[in-house]
Amino acid sequence: MDQHHLENRRMYDRLGREYAEKRKSESQSFWNDQVELPGIKQLLSPLLKDSTFLDLACGPGLRTKLWQSQVKNYFASDFCYSLLAIAKEDHDLLGNWIQSDAESMPYKTETFDLVLSSLLLHYFQDLGPIFKEVARVLKPDGSFVFSFHHPFDEILSHAPADKFPVILRNYHDEKSYEWGMLNVSFTSFHHKIETIIKVINENGFFLDELLEPRPSKESESINPKGYAYTNRFPSFMAIKATKR
């Protein structure tokens, strides 16, 4: 595992329960629950029934019940011990939990019908190895549904909702960037849309659907500023790719 991954794992391990509590708060998890999740649901919904499903980088298992109630077999993995411990504690025997790095998983080849990774891919500088690994564990015609920081969002300053953000970085430089959560700093990597599509095609997938999710009108009262902001500038991208 490279230095960035080890450092990000240390940071998630440090946050542990604090991260899980933040995600359980309606206002603080506006971006995850009201913006990212609807996009993921739209892509996943037709595929869940009767599937053998992997929740890759499941975090503290906040969405376990949602997926587990619909799939045939639920598996989940994450590289962070403290988040996995929360997931196991909260869900007991609901799933098959494994601590593992996403680039090198202990599953047999062609195990899953469906792999989901919510907000994981921006932690990888080189996307090739993780796409190869997901292609390996997927059955033929299996689907990979994933979301990540929108490439445009990665190069903008996060201005208040009533102001236009400023472009901070060169879109064409696929460099790392730092961002903060709960006073902890994380390193992620910017990828151009061109790179993401290339990596999908070069690793045995077809791109089926690409979404730039926006929150529903009903969610505006939860976070009016966030709602206004993300309706002007996309925050996430969600993609469904099928193994050829």
CB of 177 to ligand SAM, least distance (A): 15
Name the residue nearer to ligand SAM (CB basis): 105 or 162: 105
Closer by beta carbon to ligand SAM, 12 or else 144: 12
Residues near ligand SAM (CB under 6 A): 5, 8, 12, 57-59, 62-63, 78-80, 83, 101-102, 118-120, 123
Q: How far is the CB of 149 from ligand SAM (least distance, A)?
A: 10
Q: How far is the CB of 172 from ligand SAM (least distance, A)?
A: 25
- C-alpha torsion sign, points 139, 141, 147, 151: positive
Minimum CB separation of residue 109 from ligand SAM in Å reads 19
Nearer to ligand SAM, 39 or 142 (CB): 39
Residue number of the CB closest to ligand SAM reads 59
- Find tokens 């739209």 and name the residue: 42
58 vs 115, beta carbon nearer ligand SAM: 58
Q: Concatenated DSSP letters for 187-240?
A: EEE---HHHHHHHHHHTTEEEEEEE-----GGGGGT-HHHHHHHTTS--EEEEE
For ligand SAM, give the closer residue by CB, 59 or 142.
59
E runs forming strands in the chain: 52-56, 73-78, 96-99, 112-117, 138-149, 176-181, 184-189, 205-211, 236-243
The answer to whether residues 72 and 52 touch, using CB atoms and an 8 Å cutoff, is yes
Spell 136-152 as b/e; 16+ CB within 10 A means b.
Answer: bbbeeebbbbbbbbbbb
| 3 state DSSP class of 71 | coil
Query: What burial class does residue 46 get, using C-beta atoms within 10 Å of its C-beta: 0-12 exposed, 13-18 middle, 19+ buried?
Result: exposed
Q: How far is the CB of 21 from ligand SAM (least distance, A)?
A: 13
Closest CB 163 distance from ligand SAM, rounded Å:
26
Choose between 118 and 219: whose C-beta lies nearer to ligand SAM. 118
- Residue with smaller CB distance to ligand SAM, 140 or 174: 174
Residue 88 CB, nearest distance to ligand SAM (Å)?
A: 13
Longest distance between any two alpha carbons in the chain, whole Å = 50
In whole angstroms, how far apart are CA 31 and each of 102, 230, 234? 23, 9, 11
